[in-house]
Structure 1
Amino acid sequence: MSFIRNILNSRFDKGGNFFLRVEKIVGFKPKKKGLYVKAFTHRSMNLKDKNGNAINYERLEFVGDAMLSSVIAFYLFEEVPHGDEGYLTKMRSKVVSREHLNELGKELKLIDLVETNIPKQNFGNNIHGNLFEALVGAIYLDKGYKYCEKFIYKRVINPHVDIEKLEGKVISYKSLLIEWCQKEKNSFDYNVYEDTGNDDLKHFSVKLSINDKVVAKARATSKKKAEEKASKRAFFAFQKQITRFI
């Protein structure tokens, strides 16, 4: 317990008072403060409790992901009585997409609270969404379902969930393009190759072909990003046909 107490005290000592900032974000006074310490501790700190268990946000992230899915699922079930299982699943995916969670984490400036041995500018975009999920997990374990549900409504559903807009939102151009190609029986191929060029960071280029014709090219720092970028360009090239499919 003294080890955890030392970590808690260190958060008070840092500028801005960690727990006051957390309280402002969640809208209540945290009871189990150790949970919020974990929610904003990166694995690079290499901290362990007396039993040798890691002290970082990753397990809380797992819980937060489940809670977000649960609350959003029930909201959509009640709000869209005509939606079948496939529709509700797709809509929930749009609300809890990695892109959207990253935006929520940035909006709350959660990265300012994280303890890490890695320079924060070196983190990828997903750190923001990971911290948001971990925070939701901490709220659930600290205060229970109702408080967690209230937080999700306040920070996610009320300001950001618009059913009509969500129906037209694309969360993965690659997935959408592949679905469309399969439905229309079009062949497709992502030809990805390493392309370092003159950049300090390794890049990948991709040529996207549909029915053996190159329809889009893109370049990015990962294969996944390059494929998504090319898919987005192809989407706008075939927007009329694909929109009818959506």
Structure 2
Amino acid sequence: MGPTIDQYLVANCLYVIDEFNMLYKGWGKPELKNEADEKFNEMDITVRLGYPFKQNAHYTAGESGRLKKAQKINHDLYIGQRDFKIEVKYLKNWISSANTRAASKNWSVFQQDFDWLMDEIDNGKNGKVAFVIGWFNCVDSFSQLIQLGTGSGAYPLVDERKLSYFPFLVKKNENAPKQTKNLTYDYVNAYTESPLRTSSERKGKYRCMFIGEEGDKFHFALYYGK
């Protein structure tokens, strides 16, 4: 079978982290947050992940609009030589209705990508498909960038179904309530492959790897099948 998609992408993710560590050395989180929200978008991260593949990388972003719904492209990056399909999501905040930079993408967008990945793996695409989430390490809580709560409000309880997709998140304090604001990164187990405990109706083996250290300016979550 040869090298699998995760083996390539771990190296690519580390290149991106090294780049941002050098570029934003000495920057504090508030300053980095403004940069993340105002200067970067999904394509910036997709291009960086695809760059090491050189001329073998084909960027499919924007092509879906030219195709019929049945032909919708569910990945942002295609590596023809290896038949790799990679979906990318970049986490940031937008201006909310309250005129604060706190709005984030709806959970349904991420659910669609997880479903796509698992469908592909269930259909025998192990080692050929991946879903990559990237974000700047510039907020106090991961839940500021992605909706992990059971409802609205300032301190929602964690939605366990959503949390199952992020095995690298743990409570800051075992005695603290299981609210989204109390979740933090499990840096001890970074670069370690973790299983995703999903619906029993799914038959594939899905894996997640958290890539990043506490002092890094950028983090990744890499999803793939085994």
**TM-score, with normalisation over the residues of structure 1?**
0.25
The structure with more helix, counted as a fraction of residues = 1
**Greater RCO, 1 or 2 (C-alpha within 8 Å, sep 6+):** 2
Q: Tell which structure's C-alpha radius of gyration is larger.
A: 1
Q: Which has the higher strand share?
A: 2
